[in-house]
Chain A
């Protein structure tokens, strides 16, 4: 952890190599994003601020209107990633869940089923170790491991850096396995096509109510480890009902990554999206050529 401000970003690593930290201890605070170019021009506005209390002449203070999203820098990087994916026909999924829901096992078994259909790559996010990337590489798929140090989520800038290392071929399938955390990754757009939230039946069925932001942000929910249903006290209808309270109409696929039940439905969903994204990229390219 950084000793100046307590942040964890100083410990961010990609494939074990440190990436630029957001500030150095011997300088005033300095952040990792480059100075951006498209800043909305604010209006200098004396006394009309929210405070409504400024009296010109009493102090040299003035009010400056900003009106920007706090995550504006992340969102700009996410949009760049999204444009890159669109242009190259890459279907990118951001997998989010608690630790231990079976994300990596799901990915390994999904890659084995789909590797003959599409080029597949994985960006792995964990606070420490490259264990998950090693499991992915054992399938033959390229993987970049991002270690976030004390950080609790991946951000769009980290994905940009990882993409530069991956050099994905066109029409690829990209999985981004986020840090195991049902809270923080919900607010950070990475440029993905969809957030996919994974809930396993060894967890509580009320997690959609306890962690609503993630289930609200996701476009697909996978219920994993369904082969264990006979052995655990998990009400599957209640879990889906809770998810639908938070996100009406959220599609749900019940599966078992280890036993294979439901994997075909999941892989069919991915394959259909990959073909659609690749076709869109082809038509974009064709329209540029015309």
Chain B
């Protein structure tokens, strides 16, 4: 359900940008969502469509770029890719990974008129 709040925040940011950069219609939105971020993409798409109705982003296409999870092991200090928060270090086999990338939720770019 918090995807509704995310969609609201997205529209706020878009409306702010519209005032500052003087555009009146948004055709496409690019987001970067980390693989480990607590976001359900289909749910975000649903709420984005609902919340942007009657707004400058009505019928805008939502593009979601997934950034991969990355972690650094607290024991062996090596970097690795992770798909979950509870992953083993593939190098030393310990549960000691510190996540360094993959929780992002960013709006990157808009195509506007």
Contact = CB atoms under 8 A, between A and B. Distances in A.
A70 B6 contact: yes
Given A29-B54, A73-B9, A212 B105 contact: no
A31 B4 contact: no
Given A152-B1, A216-B99, A245-B95, A187 B110 contact: no
Interface size class of B (residues with CB under 8 A): 35 or more
Of B16, B96, B108, the most chain A CB neighbours within 10 A belong to B16
A141 B2 CA distance: 30
B100 to A, nearest CB: 13
Contacts of A56: none
Most A CB within 10 A of own CB, among B1, B2, B105: B2
Interface residues of A, number: 59
A58 interface: no
A28 interface: yes
A66 B13 contact: yes
Interface in B7-31: 8-13, 15-17, 19-21, 23, 27-28, 30-31
Interface in A160-197: 183-184, 186-188
Interface string B57-95: 000000101000000001000000000111000000001
Contact of A72 (B2, B8, B9): B9
B30 A50 contact: yes
B87 to A, nearest CB: 8
A151 interface: yes
A5 interface: yes
Contacts of B11: 29, 31
Given A49-B30, A61-B27, A70-B105, A41 B20 contact: yes
Interface string A22-66: 100000110101011001011010000111001000011111111
A208 B86 CA distance: 9
Contacts of B19: 35
Given A183-B2, A248-B95, A65 B108 contact: yes
A246 interface: yes
B109 A151 contact: no
Contacts of A62: 23, 111-113
Interface of A: 4-9, 22, 28-29, 31, 33, 35-36, 39, 41-42, 44, 49-51, 54, 59-74, 150-153, 155, 183-184, 186-188, 208-209, 212-213, 215-216, 242, 244-248
